[in-house]
Structure 1
Amino acid sequence: MLLTGLLLIAGVLLGRVDLVVLAAPFALGTAYALHRRPAELPQVLINDGGGHLVEGGELTGTVSVGNPDPVPYDVAVLRTRVSPWLRVDRATLAGGTVAGRSRAGGSTTVADCPFVTSVAPETAVDLELSGTALRWGRHLLGPAGARVAAAQGLLISRAVLAEPVRAKVYPKTEPFEAVEAMPRAAGLVGAHRSRRPGEGGELAGVRVFAPGDRLRRIDWRVSLRTRQLHVAATLSDRDAEVVVLLDVLAEAGRSGGIAGTASVLDTTVRAAAAIAEHYLHRGDRVSLLEYGPSARRLRPATGRRQYLTALEWLLEVKAQPSPQAVDDLAFGPQLLSADALVVVLTPLLQERSAQMLARLARSGRFVVAVDTLPADLPPPKGQGWAEVAYRLWRLDRDTMIMQLREHGVPVVPWVGAGSLDQVLRDVARMATAPRVGNR
């Protein structure tokens, strides 16, 4: 347009017809291009693919740029941002594939590059992203922006932005299998063997028939030998309530995603998901509780719905350092069932956490502390910590753990499968031991 205008002005001022004739094709082309110009801005949409995405799973997302106008877009430039915990390895746009490799730490991926395409009238072009989800949580996919050029490049639209969407990445449940019985099973139905007589599958012995016994329980071999009806007595199967208490007062270590090192929160969330999945699969009631300023709580329930709710609840877990004292009433024994097994996931980095464990143990609850602090945690560099100071801190923490064990609180590190078997065996033995009462 600038060249056309200059030629026309020069032709008029200089009286040269050849310059006007030379500018005529440019003027006619410009007029024709401007006559077919789009009237609407492009539309940009982001889709995270839906479904249940787990750590280490395949990520699929789509960023679409649409043309609602009957005039085509000659060029569309599309760009999007992606969370560092969503590593995009491949992007496909309009039949062409762009593949690349992320840098160390997942800070730069293929999605950081601009993508250029053309968009036909009243259609849309999709930028398909595929990669890997590196860590649990709610991670941003977007925002995405697009600029388009039309009228043979004479018109360029302003940038159109799409709001980001949060992709839900559930924690990967580490293998966990506790084969020991619960300390006390208080429900009416379940998979745990109770020491109370009732309907169940565990044989308790043979006794004389009594009114109310079912005929199918009659032991005919013993009855014929003794000339008196005897029935097979069984132990009732009971469910149990498991309270998973997450200590979120402090975070330590560096998270490297599913394939890297695990921080305190990583171990806490993954262990909580594994414990909840195990006991809910066995028909027990599971509740979740945060030990921190917010004191979030998930009420006890059973079934697959409770497991999905627990996963959603775990996505919101974050470190909540608080210099003020935590409200002890939110974690008081009165809120916990007397027969509940309380599994406390804690790094034991603060004295308040140890005091909370001691209070629960003194109240008569069955408490198991799971140490979530990484065993190979290096000393914090750049904060004035010397090697000697770090070793002294480690010794002081080991002393605190020994004091908790002396108060009857078992402390075990989380190592996946079988982490709690020995501890649950000891707790179940203490629960069935006779208690000495005061006269």
Structure 2
Amino acid sequence: MLLTGLFLVAGALLGRIDLVVLAAPFALGTAYALRRRPVLPPEIGIEADDTNLVEGGALVGGISVGNPDDVGYDLVLVRTVVSSWLRIDEVRFAPDGAGPEDSEDASDAPPRPGRRDATDRPYGFTVPAGTVADLELRGATLRWGRHSLGPAAVRAIACDGLLASQTVPSEARPVPVYPVTEPFDADEAMPRAAGLVGGHRSRRPGEGGELAGVRIFGPGDRLRRIDWRVSLRARQLHVAAMLSDRDAEVVLLLDVLAEAGRSGGIRGSASVLDTCVRAAAAIAEHYLHRGDRVSLLEYGPSARRLRPATGRRQYLTLLEWLLDVRVEQSPHEPYDQVFGPQLLSSNALVVVLTPLVDPRSAAMLARLARSGRFVVAVDTLPQAAAPPKRGQWTEVAHRLWRLDRDITIGQLREHGVPVVTWAGAGSLDLVLRDVARLASAPRPALR
């Protein structure tokens, strides 16, 4: 357009007809292209199917580009930003999107070799007047957490490329990805079941399925509990006394003071936070399925807490709570926020998920044990966790730190705090058996 204008002005001033004739076709073409120009900018939105997404699951999203004007766009360029933990493998047009000529765009071709993500380049297509074109994104989720799809930006070109709109951005779409629950099962009894009803055997008499003994019939005893063989032999009515089945409270205490290891997603290595969150989800799912009450608590500056409850609703709330777990470092000791009587019940089983990296973690476990609570420590430090090699003393210092950490674990075990490494199903069976035996043992009376 600038060159056409220069030719027309020069031809008029210099009296050069040839310059005017040369610029005339360009001027006529420009006038014809600008006879109808769009006034409204394009509209863009991001959608994602975020229903019950878990690590390693399929992700389906879409970018909708609308043309609210009466004039079609010759070309729209769309580009989006995706979280590093959301992998987009394929970008294509939805069936109700652009026309057939646009479906042959390179976006329908298989990903290029060596390309990390299918959204690393802009995508172009046409959008007729008054229509909406949908760009479909398909991929997979790589890690738990609150991720985002977008923001995206679109720019429209019309009038044979003579006009271009400003870049129109869209807000990012949050995509929550829940942690995958590793297989876990604990067959041993709980140390102290103190609820009203449940599936654990308690030491209190009541209506249950475990035989406690045989005693003389008394007021209030049910006739179906009469033991006729003993009654005939003793010539007096005797009934079978049962132990009540009660639920238990499980407190999952997450140590968020330090992080170690590198997270590689669901297919790679696991960091301390990955192991902690996945183990907490698995343990909570197991005990909630058995009818127990489960609560969560962070050992850190914020001391976030999820109240104890049962049922599927508690499990879904627990998964949402775990998405916000973050490492928080603070020089202050968060003892007062964690060890309050309103937060930790004296009858609860406290499962502490900790890497035992911060010295305050070992002191916290010792304090829980001295308070008389039933404590089990789950070591979440990866075996391959090591600092980057920055000198000749790095490896030696790391081995010395490992030895000091092993000494700390041994001291905790000597003080009655069992420390086990998380290994999925059956990780806590032996430990819970020993803790249950200690809980059921008679305590000496003070005189």
Q: TM-score range by the shorter chain?
A: over 0.9
Moved more, 238-247 or 200-209: 200-209
Asked if 1:100 is matched to 2:111, the reply is yes
Contact 2:44 2:168 in 1 (8 A): yes
Q: Which residue of 1 aligns with 2:315?
A: 307
Which secondary structure state, in structure 2, belongs to the residue aligned with residue 184 of structure 1? coil
Counterpart residue type for residue 100 of structure 1 = P
Map Cα deviations across residues 164-221 of structure 1 (whole Å, 9 max, x no partner): 1221111111110011110000101111111211112333344433221233434456
Moved more, 397-406 or 230-239: 230-239
Which secondary structure state, in structure 1, belongs to the residue aligned with residue 443 of structure 2? coil
Task: Choose which of 142, 157, 168 in structure 2 pairs with 1:149.
Answer: 157
Counterpart residue type for residue 77 of structure 1 = L
Q: Which residue of 2 aligns with 1:69?
A: 69
Contact 1:341 1:367 in 2 (8 A): yes
Counterpart residue type for residue 330 of structure 1 = Q
Q: Distance in 1 between matches of 2:290 and 2:222?
A: 27
Distance 1:103 1:373, change over 3 A: farther
Q: Distance in 2 between matches of 1:383 and 1:186?
A: 55
Q: Distance in 2 between matches of 1:384 and 1:301?
A: 52
Q: Which residue of 2 aligns with 1:331?
A: 338
Q: Which residue of 2 aligns with 1:84?
A: 84
Q: Which residue of 2 aligns with 1:403?
A: 411
- Structure 1 residues 2-401: aligned runs within 5 Å: 2-15=2-15, 20=20, 23-93=23-93, 94=98, 95-96=103-104, 97-100=108-111, 108-220=116-228, 223=231, 228-322=236-330, 324-332=331-339, 334=341, 335-382=343-390, 385-401=393-409
Instruction: Report the identity percentage.
Output: 70
Moved more, 393-402 or 43-52: 43-52
Offset of 1:6 from its aligned partner?
3.8
Offset of 1:19 from its aligned partner?
5.5
Moved runs in structure 1, 4+ residues, more than 6 A?
none
Map Cα deviations across residues 394-414 of structure 1 (whole Å, 9 max, x no partner): 111111001101110000000
Distance 1:270 1:103, change over 3 A: farther
Q: Distance in 2 between matches of 1:337 and 1:300?
A: 10
Offset of 1:229 from its aligned partner?
3.8
Moved more, 265-274 or 31-40: 31-40
Offset of 1:23 from its aligned partner?
4.7
Which secondary structure state, in structure 1, belongs to the residue aligned with residue 207 of structure 2? strand
Q: Distance in 2 between matches of 1:289 and 1:385?
A: 38
Offset of 1:152 from its aligned partner?
1.9
Offset of 1:418 from its aligned partner?
0.5
Contact 2:86 2:141 in 1 (8 A): yes
Offset of 1:384 from its aligned partner?
7.2
Map Cα deviations across residues 247-274 of structure 1 (whole Å, 9 max, x no partner): 1111001111101111111111110111
Counterpart residue type for residue 417 of structure 2 = V
Offset of 1:48 from its aligned partner?
2.0
TM-score, normalised with respect to structure 1: 0.93
Counterpart residue type for residue 331 of structure 1 = V
Which secondary structure state, in structure 2, belongs to the residue aligned with residue 61 of structure 1? strand
Q: Distance in 1 between matches of 2:328 and 2:421?
A: 22
Offset of 1:312 from its aligned partner?
0.8
Q: Distance in 2 between matches of 1:102 and 1:287?
A: 47
Contact 1:199 1:237 in 2 (8 A): yes
Counterpart residue type for residue 43 of structure 1 = E
Distance 1:102 1:161, change over 3 A: farther
Unaligned runs of 5+ in 1: none
Q: Distance in 2 between matches of 1:191 and 1:303?
A: 14
Offset of 1:309 from its aligned partner?
0.9
Q: Distance in 1 between matches of 2:155 and 2:255?
A: 47
Q: Distance in 2 between matches of 1:438 and 1:204?
A: 27
Q: How many positions carry a matched residue from both structures? A: 435
Q: Distance in 1 between matches of 2:445 and 2:221?
A: 35
Which secondary structure state, in structure 2, belongs to the residue aligned with residue 111 of structure 1? coil
Q: Distance in 1 between matches of 2:287 and 2:347?
A: 15
Which secondary structure state, in structure 1, belongs to the residue aligned with residue 34 of structure 2? helix
Q: Distance in 2 between matches of 1:212 and 1:355?
A: 50
Q: Distance in 1 between matches of 2:366 and 2:379?
A: 15
Distance 1:206 1:345, change over 3 A: same
Counterpart residue type for residue 99 of structure 1 = P
Contact 2:299 2:334 in 1 (8 A): no
Offset of 1:121 from its aligned partner?
1.4
Q: Distance in 2 between matches of 1:287 and 1:369?
A: 16
Q: Distance in 2 between matches of 1:84 and 1:314?
A: 19
Q: Distance in 1 between matches of 2:148 and 2:83?
A: 5
Q: Distance in 2 between matches of 1:221 and 1:113?
A: 84
Contact 2:261 2:384 in 1 (8 A): no
Moved more, 46-55 or 399-408: 46-55
Contact 1:344 1:370 in 2 (8 A): yes
Contact 1:55 1:136 in 2 (8 A): yes
Offset of 1:382 from its aligned partner?
2.5
Q: Distance in 1 between matches of 2:388 and 2:434?
A: 36
